[in-house]
Chains A and B, each alone.
Chain A
Amino acid sequence: MIRGAVAIFRRDMKKFISTPYVIIFTLFMPIMYLIIFGNAMGGTITNIHIGVVQSEPFTTETPLFTSSVEALKEFRSAPDKPTVFRVTVYPSEERAKQVLAEGHTSGVVIFPSELPGDDTVRVYEDSSDYMVPAIMEGGIKAAVASTGATNPVEINRIYGKIEYLPFFGVGVIVMAIFMTTMMGGAFALIRDRENGIIEGYLVTPVKRSSIILGIIGSGTVRAFLAGFIIFIVDILITGIVVRSFDQFLLVLLVLFVSSIGVTALVVSVASRFNTQQEYASTVAFFNLILFMTSGAFYPVQGMPDWLRWITVINPEYYTVDALRSILLRGQGLSVIWIDLLALFIFSAAAITLGITTYKRTIE
């Protein structure tokens, strides 16, 4: 019995040691977890962008306005931590609210004018975000209080009160797309190569681009269906509301373009791999880093700068952003076109990369 067990043990260890690539990536995973979870999730959220305005009629800046803005700029969660808010002064209430509606700021603080009887500090906040509204509310109240003023603070949640479940539900749609992609098209590519099936069709006149496009196509359909099913589940259990048929179609468009982008990314990564092990360990790593930085379940503002850069090239970030804009904030194409454009550019780049890196020989 022992001899057999030792034989199996030795065989597996030999295989393990002969695949350094897999070892590196399996070690990489927990290290990335440590960095992302430890650094981003545990760290404080900073760099929250808020707009400030003094309400009309505007003649001179009131002492309340100047000292509160100063206090907001200097607000920290603890004396040794970085400042929390990035403050921009807007010339008018209208303009500040417009910027907020476009999603460029997380909230607007409107300070009262000099007129008697007007002493309420009004706050309008993007309530579709998670954690950020609460931090903002606390910070603004503390900043006003620190000036010695006793003005009441009125909080307006522009998208109503949103629970964590719908916030997270949107992120899970993206996860469904990614998981399906992992096991879908690109996986078939690796299996064909590993089983030697590829040798059969590489000697036919089929073009490299045809192989990649076909695989991306089938993967996209599967990923889209998965995303769609989770979307329906979200509507049923998380309380996400689809307000109109146009909105429904827009969600489908975002899901479809995202499916192309993510599938193409995974296929382009897979196009050079020979074994399922290499592929699985790499894609699991990608899955982690893309999902973590997508903002699906933790606000991007909480991440360190270097990690935030990944969001810029992360297709899942744009998907999450677009879906939240539509489903939680009720915004339309005028706001999410930039997300769609980013996804299109990303998809085109990934498809091109997949085709050019695909190995047409078996060597």
Chain B
Amino acid sequence: MTDEQIIRLEHLTKVFRNNHTVTAVDDVSFDVRKGEIFGLLGPNGAGKSTLIRILTTLLAPTSGTAYVGTYEVTRDPENVRAIIGVCPQNSTLDVELTAYDNLDFYGRLLNVEEKVLEERIWELLRMTDLTDRANSRVSTFSGGMRRKLEIVRAFLHRPLILFLDEPTIGLDPDSRFEVWQQITKLNTEKTTIILTTHYMDEAERLCNRIAFMDKGKLIALDTPENHKRALPAGDLIDIGFDQIDGRVLPAIRESGLVTSIEEKGKSVRISAKNGNSVLPAIIGIFEKYSVPMTSISIHSPSIEDVFIYLTGKKLDSGEGEPQPAGRGRPS
């Protein structure tokens, strides 16, 4: 493992054998770099949560190895647990305890020093606006309040690596924004963050690099920009007009600037690798033949477009995440 890497997966595979065999993680290898926010994206059942459970020592891989920090997860689980913080997908708060007691309980399990623990708990409660509810039972909290409490609990002990499995699921836009700010702030404090999410804007906004998973396999890993650049279609430029001169489109095609042109009635859709820089030239061609334009729009592909291109489906479709054997309540 080089200095730059903090997590390394080598041919990691996890097979669940219940009534039928499910390969939840299928020969996955990648690195996570120190200090980055690493996004793990994929439809339900892609194996994201299983992968996180392996990295957080909750599940043993069927084959392959994974290093977290300098420790191998199956050989050195105790050392791994000492340097990570985890916010699991399903709530693990004890709803019979108060908000304060939940944090206090974990503070002790996480070996936070006694003399700083209380101050740290109040700091986190302030951060989540739960100061006045500190002594209320968590069972009286709304879903959003619980989620926020669970997230701050994960970094109570300022871990080296933070795993957030769908952190903002079920949160309102304001709360999501707060969580994003918090994640960004933690990241500037040198915490490496591994994030799974369904929200494309979240991944695009926060992540330095994004890994796409589908059916247990890693299908692409790069920065958001490179992912988009890798799309063969590039940017999309739509130009509207009343009447077109027959010479315009062949001229654009011959210019070599664009990858494809598609005429649809009173508009044309042009795909180009670098939309922003080729647009002036295209407008120039329209003007050269004195074709008046009624509208121009340009849009860059989103991460969602990348995802649809890579997997051929929308993120929200697909089947449920396979549950590990023996879990009582499915999420």
**A362→B58 contact, CB < 8 A:** yes
**B60→A205 contact, CB < 8 A:** no
- The CA of A275 and the CA of B86, in the complex, are separated in Å by 24
Chain A, interface size category, equals 20 to 34
Chain B, interface size category, equals 20 to 34
B94 at the A/B interface (Cβ < 8 Å)?
yes
Of the candidate stretches A76-84, A188-196, A237-245, the one touching chain B is: A188-196
Taken residue by residue from 119 to 134, chain B's Cβ proximity to chain A (1 for < 8 Å, 0 otherwise) reads as 0000000000000000
**A205→B110 contact, CB < 8 A:** yes
Given contacts A195-B329, A205-B82, A362-B326, 7 further A-B contacts (CB under 8 A): A193-B328, A196-B327, A197-B93, A200-B106, A201-B105, A203-B58, A362-B59
B255 at the A/B interface (Cβ < 8 Å)?
no
Residues of A within 8 A of B (CB): 193-207, 274-275, 360-363
**A196→B91 contact, CB < 8 A:** yes
Near A by CB (< 8 A), chain B positions 5-48 give none
Residues of B within 8 A of A275 (CB): 328
Chain A residues touching B, majority SS: loop
- The CA of A316 and the CA of B210, in the complex, are separated in Å by 60
- The CA of A157 and the CA of B56, in the complex, are separated in Å by 67
Of the candidates B81, B92, B326, the one whose C-beta lies within 8 Å of that of A200 is: B92
**B328→A361 contact, CB < 8 A:** no
B144 at the A/B interface (Cβ < 8 Å)?
no
Contact A205/B56 with A197-B94, A200-B88, A363-B326 known, Cβ cut-off 8 Å: no
- The CA of A195 and the CA of B94, in the complex, are separated in Å by 9
Residues of A within 8 A of B82 (CB): 205
Of the candidates A201, A202, A274, the one whose C-beta lies within 8 Å of that of B326 is: A274
Residues of B within 8 A of A199 (CB): 58, 88, 90, 92
The residue in chain B whose Cβ has the minimal distance to the Cβ of A208 is B78
Near A by CB (< 8 A), chain B positions 106-161 give 106, 109-111, 153
Taken residue by residue from 37 to 72, chain B's Cβ proximity to chain A (1 for < 8 Å, 0 otherwise) reads as 000000000000000010011111000000000000
**A196→B92 contact, CB < 8 A:** yes
Residues of A within 8 A of B58 (CB): 199, 202-203, 361-362
Of the candidates A196, A204, A274, A363, the one whose C-beta lies within 8 Å of that of B81 is: A204
- The CA of A195 and the CA of B58, in the complex, are separated in Å by 16
| Minimum CB–CB distance for A299 against chain B, Å | 43
The residue in chain B whose Cβ has the minimal distance to the Cβ of A277 is B328
B325 at the A/B interface (Cβ < 8 Å)?
yes
Residues of B within 8 A of A203 (CB): 56-58, 81, 84, 86, 88
25 A-B pairs with CB atoms under 8 Å apart are: A193-B328, A194-B329, A195-B328, A195-B329, A196-B88, A197-B92, A199-B90, A200-B106, A201-B105, A202-B57, A203-B56, A203-B81, A204-B81, A204-B106, A204-B109, A205-B78, A205-B82, A206-B109, A207-B78, A274-B326, A274-B327, A360-B77, A361-B58, A362-B59, A363-B324
